[in-house]
Structure 1
C-alpha cells in the first residue's frame, strides 16, 4: 500500500509520484496509470515503472521492461487495465524528496460554475510545478493542491484564479510541508465508508475530458443536481 511505500522512501530522501491515500495498493495504482499530487511535474506512477515481474496465463514468470517484451510492458503501464497477468513485483524510478506548498481555497456556495469555468482555463496555463483539483457538490466550491515553489509565487498564481472566478474565497490558506506530510494532508480516512453496508452504498466513477467544457454552467448543473453526489475534478 502507498502509506508504507511513501514512508520508506521518505526515510531514504526519495519520492515515488503517486496518489495521496495511504490504503491504496501500489499494484492497482501503477497498472491503471496512477494520478497523484506531482503528476503535472513528474508524470504518472506508471511513467516511473522501470520493470515488472508478471505471471502470464501460460504459467510463465516474465520480467518485462522497455527492452524486454516492450509490448507487454506498455500494456502494464496503464494500457491494459491490469488484465494481462498477475504482477508480483515492480521496479520503480524515484525522484528526490522535496518540500511542497499545499493550498486550499473555499469559495462561497453558488460559485461552483464560476470556479469550474475559471479553473479549466487557468490550470493549463500554470507552470508544471502546480497541481490543483476542484471539489464541487450541491453546496461546495473548493480548490486545493500543491506547488513545488515558493509561497510568494504561489500567491500570485492563486490571485489569478481568484480574479477569474470573480468572487473572493471565504477561506484561503497555504502551508509548506515535506512531501510525505503533504500527501497525508490530502488523505481523508474519516471520509472512507467503514462497514460493509456503507461500502456497498459508496460508488465512484471517473471520466476524462479532452478539451474544456464549452458550457461549464450546464456541466455544474448536472453535477450538483443530486445532493448525495460529489465531484473531484
Structure 2
C-alpha cells in the first residue's frame, strides 16, 4: 500500500486540478515555511491561528488539559467546505501532517497534532426541517438538543453537552435515546465528505454506499472530513428523567438486580448503574445510583421503576422523577438547567461559555452481551474498592444498550456492537492540585487492574468513540468482523493513507 508520506507529494496533483494547489511546495520531511502559512491564511474564509498568535493557547486546546503539551504548527478554523479543501491542499503540498477536529473529545488526543489542526467547529449549523435535520460537524449536543427541541423533534443524543457531531456520529453515537431511537448514526440519511484528494462527495444508501456504510461506525478521522450530515427526524412525546439512590451496603444486590431487570425493560427506558468515589480516601463511602430516562409519562414510568426495585429486592434510599420533556430533560443531564445555550459550552467556545475543561482523566470500557455472574460482580466490586488513594476520583458505571440499536444486524453498518446489552465504563480523574507523575501512575495502575478484572466477563469489544490508546486488540475490539470491509473502504477513499493516527484504519 502506498504510504501516507507519498500522498503528501502525489495527492497534490489532484488538488491542483481542483484549483487548490499551492505553489512553492516544501520538502515532505519538514513543516511549511512562513510564506506557505501566509498563503494558506489568504485562501481561508476562516482564520488561521499560528504559535505567534495571541490566542494560540486557546486555539490548540482539546477538551482535556492533559493534551496541552501538544503544540500544533497551526489551527485552521474552517467556515466553508472550500476552507477544508484548502487545508488539505496545503498539508499535502507542504508535507504537513493534518487531523480534523470538531469537539476535541478524543480520549486518545487524536484530534490534535504537531502539524495542522483542521478545525470544523464553525461548521455548526442545525437546520430542522419537516422530515430531516441538517447538522454541521461542529454542532455540539447542546446546540442540537436546543434546536431540535424547539421544533418538537427528538434526535438520538449523547451524554456530554460539548461533544460535537463530527466524531459522535461517525463513531456510532450512543446515549440516553439509544434503546428507543437507535444509535445517532442510525438516523443518517446522507453525509457530505471532503476526501484527501480534495473531492467533495455526498454519500447515502444510493450513492457511495460503501463510504456511507463506513462512516456509520468507522470512527472519525479515518476516511475524510465530514462537512454536513442529514439526519432523519423522530418524535418524542415526552421524556422523564429518573434517579434512584441506594445504600452502599446493598451494592451487590443493586448491580445484580439491575442486570436482571434490563432485558425485560421497555426500550423507551434507558438506564445506568453508577458506582462512584468523589474522594477515594480509605474511609469514604461510595455513591450508588441507578438513573436514566423514560420516553413516556411519569405514570407509566412508575410501574417500570417498581419492577427495577423488585428485581433488586431492596428499597432505594431515595427515588425521584422529573417530567421535563426532551429539551429540558437533556439540559438537566448536561447540568445546564440554569444556563443559556451559550453558557452550556466549554469556556473559550464563546464569550458566555461557562463549562470547565476536563483535566487528567483515563477512561476504559468494555461491552457485555450477558450479565456478569455473581462471582464476577464480587471481583469487580473488589477492584473498584482496591488501592484507595485520598483525593482520587473513580467511577464504574453500567450503561444500558440494546433495544432499537439491536434491531440492526452487526454488519449492516460499520458499528458492529449491535448485540451488546450494556457497557461497563471505568474512569479515574485527578483534581488539578494532584496532577503529577506519581498520582498519574497510581491512577493508571488502578484503572488498568480494574479493567483486567472486568474484561474477564466482557465480549472483548469496545465502543469506538471511547477510544482507548492502551488497547492492544483495538481492531478487533472496535470493529470485529467489520474491519476487513473498513480497510477496503479506506483503500478506496483514502488510498494513500493521508488520514493517519495511532489507531487509524488501514
TM-score (norm 1): 0.90
Match for residue 225 of structure 1?
386
Tell me, in whole angstroms, the C-alpha distance in 1 between the residues paired with 2:150 and 2:387: 44
Q: Which one of 304, 324, 328 corresponds to residue 157 of structure 1?
A: 304
Q: Within 5 A, what are the aligned runs for 1:67-216? A: 67-138=206-277, 139-188=286-335, 194=356, 199=359, 201-214=360-373, 215-216=376-377
2:334 counterpart SS class? coil
1:230 counterpart SS class? strand
Tell me, in whole angstroms, the C-alpha distance in 1 between the residues paired with 2:328 and 2:397: 21
Verify the 8 A CA contact 1:20 1:184 in the aligned structure 2.
no
Tell me, in whole angstroms, the C-alpha distance in 2 between the residues paired with 1:111 and 1:71: 49
Tell me, in whole angstroms, the C-alpha distance in 1 between the residues paired with 2:377 and 2:223: 38
Tell me, in whole angstroms, the C-alpha distance in 1 between the residues paired with 2:208 and 2:303: 47
Change (3 A) 1:86 1:46: same
Tell me, in whole angstroms, the C-alpha distance in 2 between the residues paired with 1:210 and 1:82: 28
Name the Cα RMSD after superposition: 2.1
Verify the 8 A CA contact 1:102 1:176 in the aligned structure 2.
yes
The answer for unaligned runs of 5 or more in structure 2 is 1-139, 278-285, 337-343, 347-354, 399-506
Verify the 8 A CA contact 1:131 1:145 in the aligned structure 2.
yes
| Cα distance, 1:113 vs structure 2 | 2.0
Verify the 8 A CA contact 1:10 1:97 in the aligned structure 2.
no
Verify the 8 A CA contact 2:236 2:295 in the aligned structure 1.
no
Tell me, in whole angstroms, the C-alpha distance in 2 between the residues paired with 1:121 and 1:56: 46
| Cα distance, 1:82 vs structure 2 | 4.2
TM-score (norm 2): 0.43
2:270 counterpart SS class? strand
| Cα distance, 1:7 vs structure 2 | 1.1
| Cα distance, 1:221 vs structure 2 | 2.1
Tell me, in whole angstroms, the C-alpha distance in 1 between the residues paired with 2:182 and 2:250: 31
Structure with bigger strand share is 1
Tell me, in whole angstroms, the C-alpha distance in 2 between the residues paired with 1:5 and 1:97: 15
2:189 counterpart SS class? strand
2:323 counterpart SS class? strand
- Deviation string 1:132-157 (CA, Å, 9 cap, x unpaired) is 11111351210011112232332222
Runs of 4+ in 1 over 4 A off after TM superposition: none
| Cα distance, 1:81 vs structure 2 | 4.7
Tell me, in whole angstroms, the C-alpha distance in 1 between the residues paired with 2:189 and 2:387: 43
Verify the 8 A CA contact 1:20 1:187 in the aligned structure 2.
yes
Verify the 8 A CA contact 2:154 2:235 in the aligned structure 1.
yes
Change (3 A) 1:82 1:125: farther
Verify the 8 A CA contact 2:238 2:297 in the aligned structure 1.
no
Q: Which one of 181, 188, 196 corresponds to residue 42 of structure 1?
A: 181
2:363 counterpart SS class? coil
- Deviation string 1:24-74 (CA, Å, 9 cap, x unpaired) is 101111111111211111101000011111112222211001111111111
Change (3 A) 1:103 1:93: same
Tell me, in whole angstroms, the C-alpha distance in 2 between the residues paired with 1:104 and 1:47: 28
The answer for unaligned runs of 5 or more in structure 1 is none
Q: Which has the larger radius of gyration?
A: 2
